[in-house]
């Protein structure tokens, strides 16, 4: 059973609006993020979009090894879950402080694809104890709380099938249990932190209809 984890984040108190999207690959997260940006711009908002983590981090050897086989990389000791979490949180915090906070100060709507919850979901997925989670909480506290946290979700089998339907990822090596653990971790984070769970298996139009009432008005 994946534990609850209420995150120690506080409202940013700035004129802008921060909307965070998280979810497993194949959950419709990126599609929903793009649709949201376009919708808000059509409503007259000035929108800044960010996709995390940075390209530099994703190019690192350990990140690639973990992405190919999360449980295997941890089991062999190639990747330590706590060290990985700290690294990817630090990478995100650089973008938050250098680019996201200035946009919020300027009154922009900031839409982030893979915000704070993604690396924390990975930590939960590996079943790390509460003491280990507590180590990263001071770093978590440096992040502004989203005004809206959206978690896209689908059954693990649907997510896996969607990923494999992409031409570049037909040979996706991830086992189904990785998707299952990630889906469970994101659901727990959403329920623990007042997140909005969107079941994209309902279809793109129906999903977005459920999201629209939560978005900033004109």
Q: Give the model confidence (pLDDT) of 190-206 as tens digits.
A: 999 999 999 998 888 89
- Coil vs helix vs strand at 51: strand
Tokens 């989670």 belong to: 133
- Alpha-helix residue ranges (DSSP H) falling in the chain: 29-42, 55-58, 61-68, 70-75, 81-95, 101-105, 117-125, 130-140, 156-164, 176-192, 204-211
pLDDT of 181 reads 94
139-188 confidence digits (pLDDT tens): 999 999 999 999 999 999 999 988 888 877 667 778 899 999 999 999 99
User: What would you measure as the largest C-alpha separation in the chain, in angstroms?
Assistant: 51
C-alpha–C-alpha distance, residues 160 and 149, integer Å: 23
pLDDT beyond 80 at 127: yes
- pLDDT, tens digit (0-9, with 9 covering 90-100), for 74-101: 999 999 999 999 999 999 999 999 999 9
Query: For the chain, what percent of residues have pLDDT higher than 90?
Result: 87
Answer left, alpha or beta for residue 127, where phi above 0 means left and psi between -120 and 50 means alpha.
left
**Domain ranges across the chain:** 15-213
15-213 maps to which CATH number?
Answer: 3.40.50.300
pLDDT of residue 169: 67
Task: Report the distance separating Cα 88 and Cα 86, nearest Å.
Answer: 6
pLDDT of residue 167: 77
């Amino acid at each position: 059973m994946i534990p609850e984890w209420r995150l120690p984040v506080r409202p940013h108190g700035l004129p802008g609006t921060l909307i965070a999207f998280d979810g497993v690959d194949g959950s419709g997260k990126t599609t929903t993020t793009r649709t949201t940006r376009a919708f808000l711009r059509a409503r007259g908002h000035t929108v800044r979009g960010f996709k995390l983590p940075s390209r530099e981090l994703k190019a690192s050897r350990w990140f690639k090894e973990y992405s190919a086989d999360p449980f295997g990389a941890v089991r062999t000791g190639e990747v330590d879950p706590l060290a990985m979490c700290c690294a990817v949180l630090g990478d995100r915090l650089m973008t938050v402080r250098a680019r996201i906070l200035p946009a919020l100060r300027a009154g922009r709507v900031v839409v982030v694809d893979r915000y704070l919850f993604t690396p924390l979901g990975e930590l939960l997925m590996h079943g790390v104890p509460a003491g280990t989670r507590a180590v990263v909480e001071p770093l978590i506290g440096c992040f502004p709380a989203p005004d809206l946290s959206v978690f896209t979700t689908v059954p693990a089998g649907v997510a896996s099938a969607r990923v494999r339907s992409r031409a570049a990822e037909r040979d996706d090596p991830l086992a189904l249990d990785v998707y299952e653990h990630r889906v469970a971790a994101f659901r727990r984070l959403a329920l623990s932190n007042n997140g909005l769970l969107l079941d994209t298996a309902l279809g793109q139009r129906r999903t977005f209809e459920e999201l629209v009432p939560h978005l900033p008005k004109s």
